[in-house]
Chain A
Amino acid sequence: MGFDTIVCVKQVPDTGNITGDAMKPDGTVNRAALPAIFNPEDLHALEAALDLRDRFGGTVTAVTMGPGGACEVLRECLYRGADRVILISDRRAAASDTLATSYILSQAVRKIGRYDLVFCGRQAIDGDTAQVGPQMAEKLGIPQITYYEKLVDLSGQTIRVRRNVGNGWEILEGRLPILVTVVDTANKPRPPAAKRVMRFKRARSVGEVGGQVGKDMPQASDAQKQAQAARLFEAVRAAGMVIEQWDLDDIKADLTWCGMAGSPTKVHRVQSIVLTKEGFTSVPPTAEGVAKMVHELIVDHTLG
């Protein structure tokens, strides 16, 4: 019994604590100027998954896509109770937009194989698109419920969820396996557990071990470095401290769908929008009034 869940998490620049120049001249995010944090809503997704496991049993697997440094959020998942963590890391995945990212993550989910639920945070604070979760569900061919706020019922192959629709809520029912995106009002993420922290602070991916050896032995030959990295990683494995690391080949990804090639999104320009309008527009509660409002919304491209 129990449910196997996969949680997709992301390491993001802390846009709430901007220091230095946040944007590079070419319009991309200057990650060096921003401290990296666990994307806040992904913590709520992780909590939703852990809570489900606490109540029904099962497993929680956390997946992230990113450079080696993203292992930090995977360790955070282990500290809070994740059973297994996987890093998807590949230079060929660089510059992936939401379409490519959701493809890559869905391939990782396929490789994991058995699962009942996939949890994602509603959106990441660096892009604010809220697209990756829904796109993954499409690619996996499974139903989705976005804006999860509360579990109403979970039995057999059916889940019933209260979702936050901004000005209220609705209850939706879906069949497993299903993808769910979680909002920050869903729960209070648990703090890390001390014993797990002391234990899993030593968890490492093969890439991290290699990087550390490169730093520790700058003078050594490549062969020496490789041998040392292999030795150290074997110790990590023996201690059960491996952060699994997969590349695009491991997840059988079609490279034309990944990275720059698989990313049709082009950032036109970045604007800082300051909302200046105050007050409100009164719409008379008549068919005419509503028609006029809808027309205005279509004209200014809010709708359509």
Chain B
Amino acid sequence: MPNFFADNDDILFLFNHINLAQIATLQEDDFARVKGGPGAEYAPRDAADAIDNFRRILTIVGDIAGEYVAPRAEQIDREGNTHNQDGTVTLHPLVEQNLKDLARADLMGFTLPRKYGGLNCPNLIYTMANEIISRADASLMNIFGLQGIAETINAFATDQIKDEYLPRFARGEVTGAMVLTEPDAGSDLQAVSLRAWQDEDGAWRLNGVKRFITNGCGDILLTLARSEPNTQDGRGLSLFLNERSSRIRVRHLEEKLGIHGSPTCELVFDDAPGKLVGERQLGLIRYVFSLMNGARVGIAAQSLGIAEAAFRVARRYAYTRKQFGVSIERLPAVAELVTDMRIHLEAARALTYETSRVCDLEYNNLRVLETNPPTDPAEVKKRKELARTLKRLNGMLTPMSKYYASEMCVKVASDAIQVLGGSGYMKDYPVERHLRDARITTIYEGTSQLQVVAAVRGVCSGAFEKYAEQFEQATYSDAQLASLAASLGQSRQLIAKAIAFTKECGATYMDLYGRKLVDSAIAIIVGYLFLGQATRSERKKAVAKRFIQTHLSNIRRDVELICSGDRSVLEEYATLAGPLPPA
């Protein structure tokens, strides 16, 4: 009976290492609310009780992933979903079965408040669940992991809309989709043109085309549309809730490289009725940005799950496969490949879980400020300051996690095939599926390049510096850890130099060297996270040492390049990129 939570030593380690009591106490308002009201019968009484619940919930997720979902993944990948002539989509019966299993286990209202039938889990626990599900079938995460849609409704819609829709999400009766992308509005969502207009009764109608919509055949759509005629930018966009109807047709079901269980739809809105979510004109600039931040952490979690699945196959193969009379893991090149995969995966997990943790701090602080502000003005001021700090920190950590975990995922999935050699390239092993599934993670919910643009501003604007300084205050009783911490401190001074140089050179230069700056900053952050883990585990001490040693030289190299002032990529683009091939 495989259980993808209970069999994962690193997730279990982090579950025990991270301060879940703090998160649970914030999430449950100091356990003051549990006295009655809907859902009180399954509310936790104290932090230990809440953590026990988290463990039990993740055990169920791990059971479903290992026992039910994983065995179905290959067939779903081969057969996919079906597009019908009448503009609907029929999900693969095994995808339906997966969703039924998740719904029956109460897992489709993971983070929703209990009053709507949800589990009221923190984002961190949901992130772990997303990873566990993705390891079993990455494409299922594209539906299971869309619970941010219900969260967005919870955060911004009227009570009437919430009461109507959220219990249905929590029961697993409906799934959602975030309907943003259009043929001419991909990374640049300000260009969205799908039109929203009001009929004589004041009811909203939506008209236009959306493309590449994950689970666009879902029951409840959150659609970004231009509600203000004659506007061009993001301030003319509002967010609408559409229920599936014959006025929203799936015109085309995309044929993709991977995640075949996830239906990617082209939608045609034919004056489809919609309900305004929140306020007009805040659709993109407030609600979608909030939705996207959650979704990015979700993709980071999906990346971890795919990489975990691929790594496990490679690790076992390197042990069992004999060449030249030995297990191939005894060959230095393979040993390096396998250890680098594992450490890279653990690094991305450390960063992603830390990001989720900070998301929980930010979300809960904002929730208190909005719903139950303290009476003491000094306390309000303190909380508002905290909100600003956390927002800046998350504005950096979220794109960092999405970028780092997804790039790791593609690398690890590719290296897994490398470990298996010819066998890995064949369909006999699941690693070719893992690489095909992995490939989208650096693209959707914002490409790696866009994540870097967002993250580098955090790196250069002081958020990184402030965050790193917190880590630098820690002291280590272990001499080896203390010495590793000291070298991280020195490296950060190098990076500070590179940041100062970059700022002198302007925004274009910052974007040109964004990736190197962000990579260096991530190496420092993960280095410190590993040092914290190493205080609790001998194995993690070895991991921290290996990670920090290899990354110190990377930082030196990158800082040298950043400080070179070289702009040849921009200045000599035509020369370096060579002649334009004919169309």
Listed in ascending order, the chain A residues whose CB lies under 8 Å from chain B are 188, 190-199, 201, 239
Contacts and interface: CB of A to CB of B under 8 A. Distances in A.
A198 B105 contact: no
Contact of A192 (B43, B44, B53, B105): B105
B107 interface: yes
Contacts of B119: 194-195, 198
A188 B68 contact: yes
A192 B63 CA distance: 9
B105 A191 contact: yes
B101 interface: yes
Contacts of B44: 198
A93 to B, nearest CB: 30
10 contacts: A192-B105, A193-B105, A195-B42, A195-B106, A195-B119, A197-B60, A198-B44, A199-B42, A201-B52, A201-B56
Contacts of B56: 194, 197-198, 201
B340 to A, nearest CB: 35
B322 interface: no
Contacts of A194: 56-57, 60, 105-107, 119
A199 B49 CA distance: 11
B306 interface: no
Contacts of B105: 190-194
Contacts of B117: 195
B60 A191 contact: yes
A192 B64 CA distance: 10
A194 B101 CA distance: 12
B67 interface: yes
Contacts of B556: none
Interface of B: 41-44, 52-53, 56-57, 60, 63-64, 67-68, 101, 104-107, 117, 119
A191 B101 contact: yes
B101 A190 contact: yes
Contacts of A190: 101, 104-105
B16 to A, nearest CB: 20
A191 B57 CA distance: 11
A14 to B, nearest CB: 11
Nearest to A188: B68
B68 A191 contact: yes
A199 B42 CA distance: 4
Contacts, number: 48
Contacts of A201: 52, 56
A70 B42 CA distance: 23
A198 B105 CA distance: 12
Contact of B53 (A191, A193, A198): A198
A196 B106 contact: yes
Contact of A191 (B42, B43, B52, B63): B63
A33 B119 CA distance: 37
A192 B105 CA distance: 6
B60 A192 contact: yes
Q: Would you list the 7 A-B pairs with minimal beta carbon distance, nearest first?
A: A198-B42, A194-B106, A199-B42, A195-B106, A193-B106, A195-B42, A198-B53
Contacts of A192: 60, 63, 105
A48 to B, nearest CB: 16
Contacts of A191: 60, 63-64, 67-68, 101, 104-105
A20 to B, nearest CB: 21
Contacts of B64: 191
A192 B107 CA distance: 11
A260 to B, nearest CB: 35
Nearest to B50: A198
A239 B105 CA distance: 23
A198 B50 CA distance: 9
A191 B60 CA distance: 7
A192 B57 CA distance: 9
A190 B52 CA distance: 21
A16 B279 CA distance: 59
A192 B3 CA distance: 13
A198 B44 CA distance: 8
Contacts of A188: 68
A196 B107 CA distance: 12
Interface centre among B101, B106, B119 (most CB of A within 10 A): B106
Contacts of A198: 42-44, 53, 56-57, 119
A197 B44 CA distance: 12
A197 B53 CA distance: 8
A199 B41 contact: yes
A196 B63 CA distance: 16
B121 to A, nearest CB: 9
Given A191-B104, A201-B56, 8 more contacts: A192-B105, A193-B104, A195-B106, A196-B42, A196-B106, A197-B53, A198-B44, A198-B57
Contacts of A199: 41-42
B309 to A, nearest CB: 20
Contacts of A197: 53, 56-57, 60
A201 B57 CA distance: 12
Contacts of A196: 42, 106
A144 B64 CA distance: 33
B569 to A, nearest CB: 51
Interface centre among B41, B52, B60 (most CB of A within 10 A): B41
A195 B120 CA distance: 11
A257 B144 CA distance: 54
A193 B42 CA distance: 12
Contacts of A239: 41
Nearest to B45: A202
A217 to B, nearest CB: 21
Contacts of A193: 60, 104-106
A198 B39 CA distance: 11
Nearest to A239: B41
A7 B73 CA distance: 33
Contacts of A195: 42, 106, 117, 119
A201 B63 CA distance: 18
Contacts of B53: 197-198
Contacts of B101: 190-191
A53 to B, nearest CB: 13
Nearest to A198: B42
A253 B252 CA distance: 68
Nearest to B170: A195
B182 to A, nearest CB: 37
Nearest to B56: A197
Contacts of B52: 201
B551 to A, nearest CB: 39
Contacts of B104: 190-191, 193
A187 B361 CA distance: 43
Nearest to B117: A195
A141 B68 CA distance: 39
A39 to B, nearest CB: 14
A35 to B, nearest CB: 13
A190 B56 CA distance: 15
B57 to A, nearest CB: 5
Interface centre among B43, B57, B117 (most CB of A within 10 A): B57
A98 B68 CA distance: 34
B487 to A, nearest CB: 44
Contacts of B41: 199, 239
A239 B119 CA distance: 20
A62 B11 CA distance: 35
A185 to B, nearest CB: 15
A13 B451 CA distance: 53
A83 to B, nearest CB: 15
Contacts of B106: 193-196
A195 B119 CA distance: 7
A21 to B, nearest CB: 24
A180 B98 CA distance: 29
A37 to B, nearest CB: 10
B113 to A, nearest CB: 13
B2 to A, nearest CB: 13
B39 to A, nearest CB: 8
A199 B44 CA distance: 9
